[in-house]
A and B are shown apart, each in its own frame.
Chain A
């Protein structure tokens, strides 16, 4: 499990990280809407993923994050995130379904996370703020290298 802790750094021009091809993904909110800019992201199985997430809200002080979870764990993870509460950033300390997550991004903020792509398959990404995952979700597809 990886959880980012800081603001996005300047883009690294390296093609490979730890022997893996680096894939840079970028996703935002659709302005103040409770929607991600895309409901589909993908990468190859052997890649190192650097995902940058921008909370593009202009008016509403929504907090959002980007969390990659295993398929089949959505309901349990959302319940655990809600139970974690605001004091833990709406993120469970440990959850078997979680693969990677950014920090919570406030309005206008950019956060990022790096992780090794999981095995070939389809995964979900969501915002773990209570209620947001009803509309803030997408499918992360990992294809064969």
Chain B
């Protein structure tokens, strides 16, 4: 299982590296792209946050939100060269497909398979992020939570003295 996940991530990263090798990406609407990538990251993190308490019934809802978030990136790339849009949309479809796998597996209640499927979404998102300059990629610890925390992580949320 671990080897398969690593291979998935490696394959995705190799593809992303090939695109980056073509030269630096200069975007017309970098803020929109950055925002769209953060939305996708948030939804994936929200998806992952359902795993510790086995709230699998909520996963189809999270998958739906992931699918709704995808067009934000497509729209952000309107006007960009066709090659870039095609590359991004191909990777975005892989991420959405990975999310749909989460929905399918959520009905099984198999904790191991579901966790692997959620991790696969993360891997596809990481590959997607690699298609863009580093300053546009979401930083896990800067998704609106306290420094050092990531959404869904134990202890994420308000400062300890107020929570």
- A72 contacts B162, C-beta separation under 8 Å: yes
A124, A132, A133, A134: the one within 8 Å of B162 (CB): A124
Once the chains are docked, how many angstroms separate the CA of A75 from the CA of B162? 10
Q: Which of B58, B144, B163 contacts A33 (CB 8 A)?
A: B144
- Complex-state Cα separation, A61 to B35, whole angstroms: 16
Residues of the B chain whose Cβ atoms lie less than 8 Å from the Cβ of A132: 46
- Which residues 9-35 of A have a CB within 8 angstroms of B? 31-35
| A contact face: mostly helix, strand, loop, or mixed | loop
From A73, which residue of chain B is reached at the shortest CB distance? B163
Query: Roughly how many angstroms separate A93 CA and B158 CA in the complex, as a whole number?
Result: 23
* Binary interface encoding of chain B residues 57-82 relative to chain A, with 1 for a CB under 8 A from any of its CBs, else 0: 01000001100110110000000000
- The listed residue with most B CB atoms (<10 A of its CB), out of A59, A72, A130, is A59
A135 touches B42 (CB 8 A): yes
Question: A124 CA to B163 CA in the complex, in Å?
Answer: 8
What residues of B have a CB within 8 angstroms of the CB of A62 in the complex? Answer: 65
Task: List, in ascending order, chain A residues with CB within 8 A of B156's CB.
Answer: 134-135
> Scoring B residues 122 to 163 as 1 if CB is less than 8 Å from chain A, else 0, what string do you get?
000000000000000000000111000101110011100111
- For the complex, what is the distance from the CA of A1 to the CA of B53, rounded to whole Å? 29
CB of A116, distance to nearest CB on chain B (Å): 21
Complex CA distance for A93 and B138, rounded to whole angstroms: 37
A8 at the interface (CB under 8 A from B): no
A33–B158 contact, CB under 8 A? no
User: Contacts A60-B69, A130-B55: A139 and B152 contacting too (C-beta < 8 A)?
Assistant: no
Residue contact A32 to B158, C-beta cutoff 8 Å: no
Interface residues of B, count at CB 8 A: 31
A60→B162 contact, CB < 8 A: no
Contact surface of B with A, Cβ cutoff 8 Å: 35, 38-39, 42-43, 45-46, 49-50, 53, 55, 58, 64-65, 68-69, 71-72, 143-145, 149, 151-153, 156-158, 161-163
Q: Report the minimum CB–CB distance from A115 to chain B (whole Å).
A: 19
Q: Within 8 Å CB of A78, what residues of B?
A: 157
Report yes or no: A71 in contact with B162, Cβ–Cβ below 8 A.
Answer: yes
**Residue of B with least CB distance to A71:** B162
B30 CB to closest chain A CB, in angstroms?
15
List the A residue with the shortest CB-CB distance to B73. Answer: A59
**Contact yes or no, A60 B43, CB < 8 A:** yes
Sample of 11 further A-B pairs with CB below 8 A, known A33-B39, A72-B163, A130-B55: A32-B35, A32-B72, A34-B42, A34-B144, A34-B151, A61-B64, A61-B68, A71-B163, A74-B162, A130-B49, A135-B157
Q: How far is the CB of A50 from chain B (nearest CB, A)?
A: 24
- Per a CB cutoff under 8 Å, which of A35, A60, A72, A74 touches B65? A60
State the Cβ distance, A35 to closest chain B Cβ, in Å.
4
Restricting to A120-145, which residues have a CB under 8 Å from any CB of B? 122, 124, 126, 130-137, 139
Return A86 CB to nearest CB of chain B, in Å. 9
B62, closest chain A residue (CB): A131
